[in-house]
């Protein structure tokens, strides 16, 4: 295990659990066992370490997700498997929301490097969902992928705040409705008309 890997592992655990600003370099030194001088030889500043942390986490998340999906066959099962993977992640002991949304909220407007890493990750996940929705032969794969992105991000935030994995199941159910109902719904309705309006008041 290289020194750089030891530092990144410690930084990942601490940054993800407590937030970037709440963790000082001293704590990363203590957790990794690598002296500060050495840490600064690998990463010239804390900002560089934070960016490396995000890039590493991006690789981890997408690799794990794609490996999980690859164990399924059938285009719909593969797409819904995304949300099963999410459930397992949420249900584990080390889930603390989306590291990218958290980092963006903390530093996004103040660090270009962090903002870029967050946008790159979100774009890559979006692109992956696009390939899955195209596989299914859905009528509107692009729109469906964009909607699934919202379910994904919403589920991560809600699961973190409510400390419950249930949002993954709710997102899965919504994804299936969107997948099955999308063709019927888009075929019947058009996007800006005032609905049927049966006006049933409570």
Partner DNA sequence: GGCCACAGAGAACGAGCGTTCTCTCGACCA
Partner DNA sequence: TGGTCGAGAGAACGCTCGTTCTCTGTGGCC
Q: Is 93 in the site for its own copies (CB under 8 A)?
A: no
114-153 footprint of its own copies as x/- string (CB under 8 A):
----xx--x--------x--xxxx-----x--xx-xxxxx
If contact means CB under 5 to 8 A according to the sort of partner, which of DNA, its own copies, none does residue 80 touch?
A: its own copies
Instruction: Look up residue 93 and give its two tokens.
Output: 């002991």
Q: Is 21 in the site for its own copies (CB under 8 A)?
A: yes
Among 41, 45, 63, 180, binds its own copies (CB under 8 A): 180
Least Å distance, CB 28 to DNA, is: 8
Q: Which is nearer to its own copies, 4 or 120 (CB)?
A: 120
Least Å distance, CB 24 to DNA, is: 3
Least Å distance, CB 127 to its own copies, is: 13
Q: Which is nearer to DNA, 30 or 142 (CB)?
A: 30
Stretch that binds its own copies, among 24-32, 34-42, 49-57, 101-109 (CB under 8 A): 101-109
Q: Is 46 in the site for its own copies (CB under 8 A)?
A: no
Least Å distance, CB 152 to DNA, is: 30
Q: Which is nearer to its own copies, 34 or 61 (CB)?
A: 61
If contact means CB under 5 to 8 A according to the sort of partner, which of its own copies, DNA, none does residue 152 touch?
A: its own copies
**Residue tagged 């990218």 (tokens):** 100
Using the Cα atoms of residue 20, residue 4, residue 48 and residue 89 in order, give the sign of their dihedral.
negative
Selection from 163, 150, 39 nearest residue 90 by Cα? 163
């Amino acid at each position: 295990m290289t020194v750089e890997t030891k530092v990144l592992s410690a930084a990942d655990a601490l940054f993800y659990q407590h937030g970037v600003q709440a963790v000082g370099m001293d704590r990363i030194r203590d957790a990794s066992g690598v002296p500060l001088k050495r840490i600064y030889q690998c990463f010239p500043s804390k900002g560089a370490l934070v960016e490396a942390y995000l890039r590493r986490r991006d690789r981890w998340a997408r690799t794990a997700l794609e490996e999980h999906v690859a164990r399924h066959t059938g285009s719909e099962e593969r797409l819904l498997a995304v949300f099963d993977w999410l459930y397992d992640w949420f249900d584990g002991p080390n889930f603390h929301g989306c590291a990218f949304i958290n980092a963006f909220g903390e530093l996004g407007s103040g660090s270009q490097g962090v903002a870029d890493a967050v946008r790159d990750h979100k774009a890559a996940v979006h692109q992956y969902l696009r390939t899955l929705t195209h596989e299914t032969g859905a009528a509107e794969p692009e729109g469906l992928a964009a909607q699934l992105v919202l379910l994904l991000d919403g589920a991560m935030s809600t699961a973190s705040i409510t400390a419950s994995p249930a949002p993954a199941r709710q997102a899965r159910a919504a994804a299936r409705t969107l997948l099955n109902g999308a063709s019927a719904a888009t075929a019947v309705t058009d996007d800006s008309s005032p609905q049927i309006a049966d006006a049933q008041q409570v």
